[in-house]
C-alpha cells in the first residue's frame, strides 16, 4: 500500500510517500481503508519529534482519519464494525496511508449525513472542544478567553460557546483574522499585535469576568491573558503554536491571586474521565455536527503529493484544514 513515512527522524523534508505492507489488525483491532486524513499541528510536532515527553515512542504521522472497516482482527466490536464508515484514531501506524489499523474502541461509526472527509476531523478538535465545555461548566465560569481563535479548534469553540450562550473573548494574532472571526459572528475579537491589545483585553475581561482561558499559542500572550483573569482562575495551556516559551507571567498572579497555569491534553483527559465520557462526546458531536463541530477544508492532496500538502499546511491555516485523500 501507499503510505507516508519519515525517513530522517525530525526532518520535515524527509517525509515522503512509499510502499509498505498492509498492516495486520490484532485481536480487538480493525483494518480500515482510509478515505481522508487531516494534517494537524500535532502531526508536524510528531514529525519534528517535539511532541510528548518520550520522542522514541512517537507514532507515524496521521493522528486521525476516516474510512471503511474492511476486516477485524477478532472480537465482537470489531466484527460489528466491519463494513461500517468510521472516524478513527489509528494505532502507531498512523492514518496517512491507504490502510490503517485502529483499536475497535477507538472508532466512531459515522452518521449517514457526515461525509468521510468531515468524519476524518471528527475526533481531535471536536473532542477537545467538548473537554473545554466540561471544564467551563465545572468551573462555573461566566465567560471564557481563548487564543489561537482563528484555528479550526478555536472557531469550533467559538461556535460551541455561542450555542451554549457563553460569552467568549477570541484572541487572534493577525488583523485579517479579526475580520474572519467577525464574519462568523464573533462579538469579542482582539488582535494580539494591536498596540493597545493589553488595555483592550483588560477592559473586556473586567466587563465579562472570565475565570478560565484556553491558550494554544504560548509566548507573551499567555502572561497577558493570565493577568486579566479573575483571582483563582485557571489558564489551560493546550498547544504552543508560537513555538515560544511561556512568557510575561507575573509572579504576583501565581503567588497572591491564586491563579494557575495547567497543561491540558485530550488523550490524558479521556483516560481520566473514562469511556462513558468519550461516548457522551461522540453523541454530542454527531448531534451538533453541522451547527458546531464541522471543520473547513482548504486543500486536499493525494498521498504522493505529501510535500505539496505540507507546504500548503504552512500557510493560511485559518482558511481551513489540509486533507490527505488516499482513496
Q: Within 13 Å and on the Cβ side, how many CA atoms surround 151?
A: 28
Min dist. Cβ of residue 178 to ligand NAP (A): 12
Task: Tell me: does residue 47 bind ligand NAP (CB under 6 A).
Answer: no
Min dist. Cβ of residue 151 to ligand NAP (A): 3
**Contact between residue 181 and residue 170 where contact means Cβ atoms under 8 Å apart:** yes
Task: Tell me: does residue 152 bind ligand NAP (CB under 6 A).
Answer: yes
Closest CA to 82 of 63, 60, 67: 67
The 176-215 site mask, x for binding ligand NAP (CB under 6 A), equals ----------------------------------------
Task: Tell me: does residue 118 bind ligand NAP (CB under 6 A).
Answer: no
Task: Tell me: does residue 160 bind ligand NAP (CB under 6 A).
Answer: no
Task: Tell me: does residue 264 bind ligand NAP (CB under 6 A).
Answer: yes
Task: Tell me: does residue 145 bind ligand NAP (CB under 6 A).
Answer: no
Name the DSSP letter for residue 272. Answer: H
Task: Tell me: does residue 216 bind ligand NAP (CB under 6 A).
Answer: yes
DSSP collapsed to 3 states, 207-233 = HHCCCEEEECCCEHHHHHHHHHCCCCC
Which residue from 32, 58, 150, 323 is in contact with ligand NAP, where contact means CB under 6 A? 150
**Burial degree of 109 (CB within 10 A; 0-12, 13-18, 19+):** middle
Task: Tell me: does residue 89 bind ligand NAP (CB under 6 A).
Answer: no
Torsion of CA 122, 297, 115, 266, to 10 degrees: 0
**Contact between residue 281 and residue 130 where contact means Cβ atoms under 8 Å apart:** yes
Which residue from 99, 158, 160, 238 is in contact with ligand NAP, where contact means CB under 6 A? 238
Task: Tell me: does residue 42 bind ligand NAP (CB under 6 A).
Answer: yes
Positions in the binding site for ligand NAP (CB under 6 A): 40-42, 124-125, 128, 148, 150-153, 173, 216-217, 238-239, 241-242, 264-266, 316-318, 321
Amino acid at each position: 500500500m501507499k503510505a507516508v513515512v519519515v525517513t530522517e527522524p525530525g526532518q520535515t523534508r524527509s517525509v515522503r510517500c512509499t510502499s509498505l505492507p498492509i498492516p495486520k489488525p490484532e485481536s480487538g483491532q480493525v483494518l480500515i481503508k482510509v478515505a481522508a486524513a487531516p494534517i494537524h499541528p500535532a502531526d508536524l510536532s510528531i514529525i519534528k519529534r517535539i511532541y510528548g515527553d518520550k520522542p522514541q515512542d512517537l507514532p507515524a504521522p496521521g493522528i486521525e482519519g476516516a474510512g471503511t472497516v474492511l476486516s477485524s482482527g477478532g472480537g465482537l466490536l470489531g466484527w460489528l464494525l466491519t463494513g461500517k464508515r468510521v472516524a478513527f484514531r489509528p494505532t502507531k501506524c498512523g492514518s496517512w496511508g491507504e490502510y490503517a489499523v485502529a483499536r475497535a474502541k477507538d472508532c466512531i461509526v459515522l452518521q449517514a449525513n457526515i461525509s468521510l472527509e468531515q468524519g476524518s476531523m471528527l475526533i481531535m478538535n471536536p473532542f477537545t472542544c467538548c473537554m473545554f465545555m466540561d471544564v467551563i461548566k465545572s468551573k462555573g465560569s461566566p465567560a471564557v478567553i481563548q487564543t489561537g481563535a482563528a484555528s479550526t479548534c478555536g472557531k469550533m469553540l467559538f461556535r460551541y460557546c455561542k450555542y451554549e450562550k457563553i460569552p467568549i473573548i477570541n484572541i487572534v494574532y493577525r488583523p485579517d483574522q479579526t475580520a474572519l472571526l467577525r464574519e462568523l459572528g464573533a462579538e469579542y475579537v482582539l488582535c494580539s499585535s494591536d498596540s493597545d491589545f493589553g488595555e483592550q483585553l483588560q477592559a473586556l475581561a473586567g466587563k465579562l469576568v472570565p475565570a478560565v482561558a484556553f491558550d494554544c499559542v504560548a509566548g507573551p500572550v499567555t502572561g497577558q491573558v493570565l493577568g486579566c483573569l479573575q483571582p483563582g482562575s485557571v489558564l489551560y495551556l493546550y498547544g504552543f503554536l508560537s513555538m515560544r516559551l511561556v512568557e510575561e507571567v507575573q509572579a504576583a498572579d501565581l503567588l497572591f491571586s491564586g491563579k494557575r497555569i495547567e497543561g491540558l491534553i485530550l488523550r490524558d483527559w479521556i483516560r481520566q474521565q473514562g469511556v462513558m465520557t468519550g461516548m457522551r462526546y461522540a453523541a454530542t458531536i454527531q448531534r451538533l455536527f453541522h451547527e458546531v463541530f464541522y471543520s473547513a477544508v482548504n486543500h486536499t492532496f493525494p498521498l504522493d503529493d505529501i510535500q505539496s500538502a505540507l507546504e500548503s499546511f504552512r500557510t493560511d491555516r485559518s482558511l481551513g484544514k489540509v486533507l490527505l485523500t488516499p482513496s
